[in-house]
Chain A
Amino acid sequence: MKKKYIVTTIVTAVFLLGVSLFAWLKPADAFSLSERRRLEQFPEISFDSIISGSFMKDFEDYTLDQFPLRDEFRKIKAFVAMNFFGAKENNGIYVYDGYVSKTEYPLDEESVVKAGDKLEYVYNEYLKDTETKNYLAIIPDKNCFLADKGGVLSIDYEEMISLIRENTGFLEYIDITENLSIDDFYKTDTHWKQENIVDVAQVLCNGMGTSSTQQYTEKTLDKEFYGVYYGQSALPLESETIKYLTNEAIENCVVYDYQNGKETSVYDLEKGMGKDPYELFLSGPISLISIENKNAKTDKELIIFRDSFGSSIAPLLIDGYKKITLVDIRYIHPNFLGQYIEFNNQDVLFLYSTSVLNNSETIK
């Protein structure tokens, strides 16, 4: 018998059986840090779950989630897809000049119009017959600065902003796009860096007829930061650091988390040391949260309808206000807002990123 058949038999059989044994014996992990999600556990076996096929489906999810060296295998896939097969993106993620981003394409005009409708609903329900001053600012996502250079498809941002402005004529538009560049974003995350957006805060304050200080102390979170795209990309990327800006006024602010009914702080260091360090800023995704400025020299209040980008810029606006309330209508239906906020003469800023507008089904 030819030696090569013996070798092929042994090598392939040992590989299959070895990996299989590893997979059977490996203890299940509870959480994937790189993907920031809970991993599927071994499903319950019952007559009903087998007959309905749900056991099989859950078992398949379990085997994928718990596969030995899962992250390493995902890295191999990303490497082969992008370097051997020449794919421009891996699972929609691409890299250019060390920056990682997720493609946002095509422009979903219907979604943008619906986003405008949802903002109009808030306006009609709470703002129309009040003395509030109402503003709109749009945060372009990283692709705006990266996609063309990286050679990937991207939406026409000017067209998108025109479209949302056309549908939100009741809001005064403040243009912050000129003050942003790719350097203002984390390399491995979708968000902007707080230390780079002081000028953006200034533009917003000027636009709303107030002012903001530029006097901050820069601090660095004592934890390596791997942004949301790090896990999704499965590419070997370097960690980053999160810096945050503070001063006496910010430190003396009283922050109230309505969602969880508790006081918290502008910079939640406990969350910052957690699974998603970006939650350092105002404790991450919370439907309704307020910041009271004890040192305020004004009675003005600001209400920000926002997505996650709002968490890091809100502290930079506090100098001009006595109170800022942040509302995330992705997590709370606007109909409930009347129970918590009395709209009368506040400044109201709708601050949304283009990626949320292009996927507005997340807005309630």
Chain B
Amino acid sequence: MLFSSIPFLYYFLPVVLILYFIAPKKLKNSVLLLTSLVFYGWGEPKYVVLMIASILIGYVSGLLIEAFSQKKLSKLFLWLSVGINIGFLAYFKYADFFIENFNTATGLSVPLLRIALPIGISFYTFQILSYTVDVYRKDVPAQKNLINLAAYVTMFPQLIAGPIVRYSHIAKELENRNINVENFAKGMRRFILGLGKKILIANTLGELCDIFKQSDDKSVLFYWLYAVAFMLHVYFDFSGYSDMAIGLGRIFGFNFWENFNYPFISKSATEFWRRWHMSLGTWFRDYVYIPMGGNRVSKPKWFFNIFVVWFLTGFWHGAAWTFIVWGLYFAIFLISEKLLYLKYLEKSKVLSRVYLLVVVGISFVIFNATDMKEAVSYIGGMFGVGGVPLVSTEFFYYLKSFGVTLCIGLIGCTPIVKKTVEKIKEKSIGGKIIAVIEPIFLIALLIVMTAYLVDGSFNPFLYFRF
């Protein structure tokens, strides 16, 4: 089920809210678990079983790892759990990719499995992995209550598109959390704003990207318009989803960690990845990069570690070479920055940001390409390769038609609005005005978004399949 859908907003969510708030404290996790299974089963009824199997493996492994913590068996249970869960992910997400490449390399024709990807498998697999590793490291005690662990993994606000919530971050809240009016109000505000980012900006810019891809009237500036539109589209889509997840979590009394921190204001690729999809970046840092030795190794080994992490980061996003190249592309910039010019970038205010936006813009052209041939063709188009004209009729038309949305997107991806609101709030009268306007604004936004949903058609989230 999608957050940005009528069934979720006006059928599922109200029922969940009623059940959750009337349920006694000890049953709240059960309510969350059951409703989350319905939420997941709505889109993938068959794969509920797979998710439950992953949870049971994680649960039993956690208990065994803890029970045998002084013995070598502990490590065996850890590897078993990691192996099985990675195995599920490899089979369901990557099997056809491996077969295709095997066929290409060998000239054989091994038939593809054509398995439908279980929604959210990349997210919940990583959550279960982090849980078992944390138990192994004794960072957290194993969860004895299966319902609590299952509620953590399946919790619908973050189940299918993150952020990747660590068990250690919410272990205490699974047992005891603050459910109050302030959390509800703040959570609802965050949810509605996230929904607005998704429906009003991401979806609209997604239309522009689709139009561009189908256009026969491409030009250099149209390629750049596409690159900007897709950058904003993917940011508002994913950060909007994260806002909704964080907001819903807050309504239920959970404090999920932030996932985005205005990444496009970064001065370097290094900084960008500290602000973009932070839950994924820190996951790879803590569970892959640092265990491999991080940067406290020889230079060649350090480069190798970076390449491995960014290969995996790209591959996590999808079973295609474009994603792998996208990850390795960032690895090259991260290493280059560290070795050569990061200090210069940090001193510059304008050039560094232009550099970052160009680097990221090109990266997302690769990210969104159907294959590397298209990626190379699009990047070439951005620089006029192949005699592409500078401008075209369609460029001007769509620039005008989507201009307001692009401007809102460009302003909205910076902290300008947030800082302005905070400044107004600092003044007594400003705070009062915002207190009055805020609920009206939220309802108006809900009405407009409902109108968009009623008028529109099915609209999947981008990060759904990762």
Contacts and interface: CB of A to CB of B under 8 A. Distances in A.
Interface string A99-113: 000000010000000
A15 B443 contact: yes
Contact of B397 (A5, A17, A86, A153): A153
B10 A86 contact: no
A4 interface: yes
A200 B6 CA distance: 48
Interface in B197-218: 200, 204, 215-217
A33 interface: no
Contact of A78 (B5, B13, B439, B455): B455
A86 B446 CA distance: 20
Contacts of A1: 180-182
B293 interface: no
A9 B184 contact: yes
B14 A16 contact: yes
Q: Interface of chain A, helix or strand or loop or mixed?
A: helix
B188 to A, nearest CB: 5
A152 B396 CA distance: 11
A23 B455 contact: no
Contacts of A63: 6-7, 10-11
Given A5-B181, A59-B7, A88-B401, A234 B455 contact: yes
B179 to A, nearest CB: 12
A12 B448 contact: no
B42 A67 contact: no
Nearest to A63: B6
B455 A73 contact: yes
Contacts of B185: 4-6, 8-9, 12
Contact of B404 (A2, A64, A85): A85
Contacts of B14: 16-17, 20
A196 to B, nearest CB: 30
B301 interface: no
A184 interface: no
Interface stretch (A49-57, A264-272, A349-357): A49-57
A4 B192 contact: no
Contacts of B458: 60
B451 A8 contact: no
Contacts of A6: 181, 185
Interface string A23-64: 110000000000000000000000000111100100110011
Contact of B188 (A4, A9, A75, A152): A9
A77 B45 contact: no
Contacts of A67: 6, 10, 450, 454
Interface in B26-54: 42-46
Interface size, A (range): 35 or more
A152 B397 contact: yes
B7 A8 contact: no
A120 interface: no
Interface string B313-350: 00000000000000000000000000000000000000
Interface in A56-91: 56, 59-60, 63-64, 67, 70, 73-78, 80, 84-89, 91
Contacts of B17: 13, 16-17
B450 A11 contact: no
Most A CB within 10 A of own CB, among B14, B405, B435, B446: B14
A67 to B, nearest CB: 5
Contacts of A56: 1, 42-43, 45
Nearest to B434: A4
B137 interface: no
Contacts of B452: 77, 80
Contacts of B453: 64
Contacts of B443: 11-12, 15
Contacts of B404: 84-86
Interface string A143-154: 000000001110
A80 B44 CA distance: 34
Nearest to A15: B443
Given A50-B45, A73-B451, A88 B6 contact: no
A80 B448 contact: yes
A261 to B, nearest CB: 38
B189 interface: yes
Nearest to A5: B185
B403 interface: yes
Given A13-B17, A106-B217, A86 B454 contact: no
A122 to B, nearest CB: 30
Nearest to B446: A15
Contacts of A13: 17, 184, 188
A92 to B, nearest CB: 11
Contacts of B403: 86
Interface string B246-270: 0000000000000000000000000
A290 B44 CA distance: 53
B286 interface: no
Contacts of B401: 86-89
A74 B455 contact: yes
Contact of A2 (B45, B182, B217, B456): B182
6 contacts: A1-B180, A5-B181, A5-B184, A56-B43, A67-B454, A80-B451
Given A17-B18, A56-B1, A86-B400, 4 more contacts: A12-B439, A13-B188, A67-B450, A73-B451
List 4 tightest A-B contacts by C-beta distance, closest first: A77-B451, A8-B185, A76-B451, A5-B185
Interface of B: 1, 5-7, 9-11, 13-15, 17-18, 42-46, 180-182, 184-186, 188-189, 192, 200, 204, 215-217, 393-394, 397, 400-405, 435, 438-439, 442-443, 446-448, 450-456, 458
